[in-house]
């Protein structure tokens, strides 16, 4: 069933989720570089990335929630959709905690590095929730118009294209 929040036939949620996923994974890379080099530059560079990731995650959640309520239910994908959605709320919450830690610290922490563990756990959970999102598209055909089991008629822009062929 076609996504309810889209540009043409392209669902918006998969487009938007690349922003927080990319930001969060870059935080992991910069954390690892910081742990190796102990250069404050790498630790400091994570703070704006975390902010972009958290804001991007909240923005991406809106079309994701709309698609969950409308499309996932129609495609019997509530289970994977709930795991995907709740898991991503936990991911964003971990990175919010991480963001607050880093924005309130005046320098990199010494000893136990809580921010690194939050990044590592959040990134691991992000991999799981990303896989669940893929499963919703590949196995349950959420947001996919072209699949034979899709229940939507083609949108006007696709009907026009089919008529031209």
Q: What pLDDT digit, counting tens, does each position of 48-87 carry?
A: 999 999 999 999 999 999 999 988 777 888 899 999 999 9
User: In 3D, which of 88, 105, 83 has the Cα closest to residue 24?
Assistant: 88
63, 73, 76, 91, 125 from 152: Cα distances, Å = 18, 14, 15, 32, 32
Summarize pLDDT for 30-57 with one digit per residue, the tens.
Answer: 999 999 998 999 999 999 999 999 999 9
pTM of the model: 0.83
């Amino acid at each position: 069933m076609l996504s309810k929040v889209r540009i043409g036939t392209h669902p918006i949620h998969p487009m938007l989720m690349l922003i927080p996923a990319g930001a969060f994974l870059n935080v992991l890379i910069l954390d690892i570089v910081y742990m190796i080099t102990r250069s404050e530059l790498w630790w400091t560079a994570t703070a704006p990335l975390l902010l972009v990731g958290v804001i991007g995650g909240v923005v991406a959640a809106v079309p994701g929630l709309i698609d969950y309520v409308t499309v996932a239910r129609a495609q019997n994908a509530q289970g994977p959709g709930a795991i995907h959605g709740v898991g991503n709320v936990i991911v964003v919450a971990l990175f919010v905690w991480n963001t607050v830690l880093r924005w309130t610290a005046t320098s990199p922490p010494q000893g136990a590095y809580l921010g690194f563990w939050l990044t590592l756990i959040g990134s691991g959970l992000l991999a799981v929730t990303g896989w669940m999102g893929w499963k919703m598209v590949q196995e349950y055909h959420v947001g996919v118009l072209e699949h034979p089991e899709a229940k939507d008629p083609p949108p006007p822009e696709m009907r026009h294209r089919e008529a031209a062929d």
